[in-house]
Amino acid sequence: MSWYTFEDKVLPMDEWIETGVDWLVENFRDFFQIIKIPVEKSLEGIDWALNATNPWIVILLFAIVTLKYAGKITTVFTIFTFVLVGLLGLWSQTMTTLAMVVVAVVFCSVVGIPLGIASARSDRFEAFLRPVLDTMQTTPSFVHLIPVVMLFSIGTVSGVIATIIFALPPIVRLTNLGIRQVHPELVEAGEAFGATSMQVLLRIQIPQAWPSIMAGLNQTIMMAISMVVIAALIGAGGLGVPVFQGLNNLDSGLATIGGIGTVLLAMVLDRITQGMVEK
């Protein structure tokens, strides 16, 4: 008898997973195609609207929003960013990326805030959700792409779905944290004056947790931008396209301007949402 020295594979887990995914694809393909529809429709609409609008009007709108939440200096920076990406010939890609980020973040909020509330209200649900979120957050972003491609096929919509999965955790976590940090006396005061559970949530917990929820939204936006670029690997459009074209052709100039566009866009969105947190 000899010692087992880990030279042979005993657990063919990779095969199991493959079988599982195959099974899912075979039996639930229609279901996943239906999930895709709302993402697809809203993405098409926003992408079309941003690209069809005169660029100067888009710049003006962004300037107004920035001025409202983030002050004059940041407004100048926002105008600079959009003019620059235009001059670099990346306007259309930037608008597509923006559309993808907006759609991903809206879906993250719609799903994430209720999940955060639910986990703040139930320790058991939190205990269940936590490892799921850990997995979503720590899995290398490329790894998300494979099952997404198998279930949703390639393209921009699949890219957005991968982004939603990747960017969801922060808003769930920070909503949960924000609500858990509301002073218990405030909740008790609400109950003493006859607040129902829903009133406690809407009139005390959410208003008190609002800064934390907004910070979660900010983080979700940042993660969405980074993922949207990677999503170009599975055929999504936007600023990721010049980056990967550049990498494939060893065209460092093209890759760099794609990168610059991404970073500047990220900074603009970050400053605006930070401003919203503080107000």
Partner 1 sequence: MSEEIIRVENLFKVFGSNPEKALKLLKQGLEKEEIFKKTGMTIGVQNANFTINAGEIFVVMGLSGSGKSTLVRMLNRLIEITSGSVYINGLDVAKLNAQELTELRRSQMSMVFQSFALMPHLSVIENAAFGLTLAKVEKPKRLDRAMEALEQVGLEAWAECMPDEMSGGMQQRVGLARALAVDPEIMLMDEAFSALDPLIRTEMQDQLLSLQEKHQRTIVFISHDLDEAMRIGDRIAIMEDGRIVQIGTPDEILQNPANEYVEAFFRGVDPTGILNAGDIARETQTTVIKYPGKGPRAALQRLISHDRDFGYVLDKSKHFLGIVSTDSLRELINNNGKTNDFSEAFLDDVTPVNALDSMQDILNEVVTRPWPIPVLNEKKEYIGVISKNIFLRTLQHNTNE
Q: Using CB under 8 A, list all residues that contact partner 1.
A: 183, 185-186, 188-196, 199, 203-204, 207-208, 210
- Burial 4-15, CB ≥16 within 10 A → b, else e: eeeeeeeeeeee
Least CB distance from residue 180 to partner 1, whole Å? 17
Using the minimum distance from each CB to partner 1, give the nearer residue, 4 or 193: 193
Left (φ > 0), alpha (ψ -120 to 50) or beta: where does 134 sit?
alpha
User: Measured between alpha carbons, how far is 152 from 160 in angstroms, rounded to an integer?
Assistant: 11
Least CB distance from residue 222 to partner 1, whole Å? 26
Using the minimum distance from each CB to partner 1, give the nearer residue, 25 or 187: 187
Using the minimum distance from each CB to partner 1, give the nearer residue, 17 or 189: 189
Using the minimum distance from each CB to partner 1, give the nearer residue, 37 or 189: 189
Least CB distance from residue 204 to partner 1, whole Å? 7
Nearest to 160, CA basis, from 237, 239, 255: 237
Least CB distance from residue 116 to partner 1, whole Å? 19
Handedness of CA 95, 101, 104, 107 (dihedral sign): negative
Answer for the pair 35, 59: CB distance below 8 angstroms, yes or no.
Answer: no
**Coil, helix or strand for 118?**
helix
